[in-house]
Structure 1
Amino acid sequence: MARWDIFCSVVDNYGDIGVTWRLARQLAAEQGHVVRLWIDELGAFVRLCPEASVDAECQRWSGVEVRQWREPFPAVEPAQVVIEAFACQLPSAYIEAMAASGTRRLWLNLEYLSAEDWVAGCHGLPSPQPSGLQKFFFFPGFVEGTGGLLREADLLARRRAFQADAQAQQAYLQSLGVIREAGARLISLFAYENAGLAGWLDALAADSQPTQLLVPQSKILADLQVWLGEAQLTPGDCCRRGNLLIHVLPFVAQDDYDRLLWCCDFNAVRGEDSFIRAQWAGRPLLWHIYPQDEGAHWDKLQAFLAIYNADLMPEAAAVQTEFWRAWNAGEGMEAAWPALREVLPVLQRHAEQWCEQQAARADLARTLEQFYLNWLSYAA
């Protein structure tokens, strides 16, 4: 058992805090480590853990000590393992305390998830710091030689049990105000603003099969309001257009969001945290990647599609690629949806196979722990 400090700067929406909160809980619950999670925006944390306080300097949830990160930074003893999530800058006082302690501590920069080829070559590389300390790059990933993906030990067993229990699904959906209609396809939508939404909604409304679109509160609601001609949408609202019934849902805690993904036939997700959870749901998915300057996100999108589609028959792979590109380009969804709809049975089988393939590899928390143990052995 070791002491871990995880630092999270909430940069955009809930992806950063979503990943670090899951990781902190798993390190504490499954591996028995003592974990402090430092967060600079507790308001974002409270959305994921509604019982938490937005003002408390120190609070404890799910076996994790949650600390408010602000300046001046308090005088604390640095942990044995220090994680700066997504290249956030550690407090200078904390770095000085590490350097002055005389005790070696493992300092890791937990990077964003990417399927690009160069990731495996950079995973685990050291980076000497001006303070005299050494920091290591740690990359999550989909292939051997990377840090794997966040996955609790019992996640897939819980998911399969839930998906096999129609009554449990019905009860959960009803708790959100959703009654599944006979023959309807369920799609969840969690996305950034997207000009392509209108075309997709037009296609769903005109589809021969009914669709119920479940939309938790997110930035996409503004585009949804425009398409519906509604001034304001709030949780609990339902709107029908043609063969499309739209349900506006509240922002839900992480475990509830997992259940939402498990209930649906198709999941549109964004960023990193929901993207990973959708893969563990074993359902076809659509990823809205976070847009980057100079279009750097397109390389990341294509890199993932290259490995995700590798075992798909070429026709289905081409259709899926076009659908994802249309969504991220914000155009062409009205034509792309009918083509994708025809290959959904193939994509369903593939999604489950991909889930099994990734689950055969060590998860992120385990690879982090093993990296620490290897580092200790090397130091000895």
Structure 2
Amino acid sequence: MGSRARDTDRMNKDPSTSPEGASERHAGALTSPGRAFQARWHLIWLIYVPFYFISWLYRKPGPVELVASLAGAAFFLLLFWTIWRQRGRPMLWQVIVIFCLGLALSPFNVGWSVYTIYAMSFAARMTPRRMAIRTMIVLEVALLALGPLLQAHGMSAWVSGLLFGAVVGFAGLMQSDMERKNQELAIAHEEVRALATTAERERISRDLHDLLGHTLTLVAVKAELAARLVSRDAEAAEREMQAVAAAAREALGEVRTAVVGMRGASLAFELDKARQALAAANVQAEISALTTDGHPAQEAVLAMALREAVTNVIRHAGARRCEIRLEPTASSLVLTVADDGVGGKIAEGSGLKGMRARLAAIGGGLKIQSDKHGARLVATAPLKAAP
């Protein structure tokens, strides 16, 4: 039980399996080559910067315009590089500075709206989303309010800045939302994968506990019997040791199949094994089992329950008699294991908890009664899965 708790603690602390580590792993993936390529891909949006200089193809800029335009472009590229280093998440002051840069260049070149459109695009990528929307609205209202002044430097530039800024900003907002949802979906997938890994580890832990608990109990009982017989009946002691070897080989095979999830346990086989184990422990076994053909899933769960119950009888009950009864009804299979042992209060360990978990998974249940006359375990496996 203690080792089981320590294993669970290790799984919870291990960032490769715990759900809390999923977001950390996804954040770490941002530095992977794929994410680095995606980050570099954002540099393609610099292709719109030359649109500012298109008017120079049919006119010669003055010295002041030339210096102001080149200085403005250099300053914008510096801001763009800074935002790119922030993984495309700009801060409010950076958006405002780019917007004001466009306004400041409006007296020199009709392409000034390129920078205000960039500002709208960056505003859409701000976090939180509420701030992004508010900033976009403020920038649009500012352009509308400054319309009379900006129209003097080119009506078309002002209209394009107003309309294309809104379109680009809205598109950027949608793209940002999509990226955020994709990231949340990736984190959710990581959490599902981590939970599946944890569940599989717990399943293997339960199965190994039940498989090895029963087999090792049988091995211990037969080894003790062989030790008592070796001085009086060497042949009988040899037979018991051969049975120990056979049980060990069988346990090895069961462990292998349990690890890969192909248990295939049958009630008929477990009933025979229970009879052998109880006889070796000098416990009188009374077994009554009706046919249960056609229900392999229920049989597999009840077989594991029978194995755990018989192991507990041999280990803890101190019983002289054990009754095992299997009764199929119209709606379920009912397994009853009763003994005349010491009884008393039962503290459920990992074996009984694993039994409950398996029965609950198929919609069944487990009832345990224990008093001074012994203990009684009733496991019910419905023939139809629970909703």
TM superposition score normalised by structure 1:
0.22
TM superposition score normalised by structure 2:
0.21
Q: Higher relative CO (CA 8 A, sep ≥ 6), structure 1 or 2?
A: 1
By percentage of residues, which structure has more strand? 1
By percentage of residues, which structure has more helix? 2
